[in-house]
Structures are given as structure tokens and as C-alpha cells.
């Protein structure tokens, strides 16, 4: 089986995004605890949390995109060699059973 560098790069990207997301979540939690400790208003609390929430949303979208791309590449790689054989076997089965004539496809086969 050949190695696909793109798969490893996508997997590394997903892992990196997850680790960055965890770091942002921890930093945001510490920032909120610091703001809460000082006795603050709701506006100050929201202002402290907003940058971390935006960063988590962006990282979530990037992680989702990388994850979908990774799964699509894995499925494509896993089924790449099998599709030609499956379609060939299906076409031979249709011709053998005479279904091609019944379906009006006999001119193509």
C-alpha cells in the first residue's frame, strides 16, 4: 500500500486544530476566572469571553472542514481499487442474466 502524504498532513491538521482548540478553551476559562475574581459586570464578562469564543468557532469550522476532507480522502482511497472491479462484475452479471435486453440496454452491451 502506498503512502499518501496528504492523508498524514490532514490528520496532523486535525490533531493540531484540536490541540489549539483545547489551549484556547483553557486560556479563555482562565481569563473568565480572572475577570470573575475582580467583581465585574456582565458586559465586562462578555467582552473578556468574546475573543475566545470567536477563536473557538473559527477553529471548529477549520477542524470540521479538515475532518470532512480527511474522511473523504480515506473513503476515496479505500474504494478506488474496488470500484472498477465491482462495476465490471455488475455489467457482466446484467449481460449474463439477459437483463440488459429487458431494460433496453442491449445496444450498449
| Closest C-alpha to 59, from 16, 92, 28, 99 | 16
Residue 87's pLDDT is 67
Mean pLDDT across 88-97: 69
Put simply, whether the predicted model's pTM sits higher than 0.75 gets the answer no
Does position 106 have pLDDT exceeding 80, yes or no? Answer: no
Q: What is the pLDDT of residues 26-69, one digit of tens each?
A: 999 999 888 888 877 888 888 888 999 999 999 999 999 999 98
Gyration radius from the chain CA atoms: 26
Q: Where are the domains of the chain?
A: 5-80
Distance of CA 78 to the CA centre of its chain: 16
Amino acid at each position: 500500500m502506498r503512502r499518501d502524504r496528504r492523508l498524514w498532513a490532514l490528520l496532523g491538521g486535525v490533531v493540531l486544530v484540536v490541540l489549539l482548540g483545547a489551549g484556547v478553551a483553557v486560556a479563555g476559562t482562565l481569563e473568565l476566572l480572572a475577570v470573575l475574581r475582580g467583581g465585574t459586570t456582565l458586559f465586562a464578562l462578555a467582552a473578556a469571553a468574546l475573543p475566545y469564543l470567536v477563536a473557538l468557532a473559527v477553529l471548529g469550522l477549520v477542524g470540521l472542514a479538515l475532518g470532512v476532507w480527511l474522511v473523504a480522502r480515506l473513503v476515496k482511497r479505500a474504494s478506488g481499487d474496488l470500484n472498477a472491479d465491482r462495476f465490471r462484475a455488475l455489467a457482466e452479471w446484467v449481460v449474463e442474466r439477459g437483463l440488459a435486453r429487458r431494460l433496453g440496454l442491449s445496444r450498449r452491451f
